[in-house]
Chain A
Amino acid sequence: KAGVTQTPRYLIKTRGQQVTLSCSPISGHRSVSWYQQTPGQGLQFLFEYFSETQRNKGNFPGRFSGRQFSNSRSEMNVSTLELGDSALYLCASSSQLDNSPLHFGNGTRLTVT
């Protein structure tokens, strides 16, 4: 079974731009969660999607948004990028909406200059 795939692996953007990150979950997994990882804050929950619906949302500004498609693939978008958005963005999939173990992708490293 293929693992969770995130694209792109690396991204460099400038302040004010917007970015879209993509995540393909493990086949059959319907839940996709997004996390932001920084050295200072650790893993911070962004949002979770299940069957194309956002089920949970973390404490991030509205500039962070996401969506899930009918094939469970998910995208997250960050608009009006700020320097502080530089981070590793991790996507994780699981088979259920509950607290089943998460299967993480290798992340997208976003650098905002």
Chain B
Amino acid sequence: TQLLEQSPQFLSIQEGENLTVYCNSSSVFSSLQWYRQEPGEGPVLLVTVVTGGEVKKLKRLTFQFGDARKDSSLHITAAQPGDTGLYLCAGARRGAQKLVFGQGTRLTINP
């Protein structure tokens, strides 16, 4: 059983469309991180959200942490081929000393 469930697992859309990726759990996290991984490379941190209800923007990417700190979403506006990659969410729990990763959403943006 995955502690962090990401959906959808796969998403293929056309350039210019909008999309939302979800990261859900029944557990409370002290913070949540989003990473993007491109083929042949390791994951790269995009953002960390800490406060329930927090919204962070990174250009066309909008990240939100749920009020109860159990879920998060990533919204991409006007997707571009450069957004293609594996998006991973990772939750940190109080008292635990390792991050828990979701299975990832593999996103493909077609030109």
Nearest to A105 among chain B residues (CB) is B42
**Of the residues A41, A48, A92, A104, contact of B97 by C-beta under 8 Å:** A48
Give the chain B neighbours of A45 by CB distance below 8 A: 98-101
Interface string of B19-63 (1 = CB under 8 A from A): 000000000001101010000111111001000000000000000
Q: Interface size (B, Cβ < 8 Å)?
A: 25
Residue A11 lies at the interface, judged by CB distance under 8 Å to chain B: no
Give the chain A neighbours of B45 by CB distance below 8 A: 101-103
Interface size range on A against B: 20 to 34
Q: Are A97 and B43 in contact (CB under 8 A)?
A: no
Subset of 16 A-B contacts with CB under 8 Å:
A42-B2, A42-B101, A42-B103, A43-B43, A43-B88, A45-B98, A48-B98, A55-B97, A97-B97, A98-B97, A99-B98, A102-B35, A102-B43, A102-B99, A104-B43, A106-B41
